[in-house]
Structure 1
Amino acid sequence: MWVVQPDICDDETRFASVVHLDTIFRAAHLLPVYGKEFVPSYLNFSQSLDAFHSYYVNKYIDHHAFKIAF
């Protein structure tokens, strides 16, 4: 699996841009890289993109994702 990270600007903020819906080909299945610390029990799904610094891209989620990513 590949490891991806968000782009960071010089002032330590995350780079943001608008992505047009007609340019999205397929959704990606992201798994967080947990590290050595415990995941807090109060963490919910809406905070997961901000809580982790890098993610695995799961290209084995189904046949179509594997065919596109590989």
Structure 2
Amino acid sequence: MAAQKREPIFGAAVLKLSFRMRGDEASEGFRRVYEGVLRDLGVTDDEVERYLAEHRAEVEQAARGQRK
């Protein structure tokens, strides 16, 4: 994965996981925001899910507001 894509994917993964943790991932508000974020960052949902699977602990920590 290109270095310049790491942070955008990280941010998108934190956004997605934070909504998932609250049970709001299916909300229309999340979908609109998330789809716009994906488009603006030039990443796909599949890339975000793959990144989330590989970096779950780090992303979860950030979603809880505990990023190092």
Q: TM over 0.5, yes or no?
A: no
Task: With the length of structure 2 as denominator, give the TM-score of the two structures.
Answer: 0.24
**Higher helix proportion (structure 1 or 2):** 2
Task: With the length of structure 1 as denominator, give the TM-score of the two structures.
Answer: 0.23
- Structure with larger Rg: 1
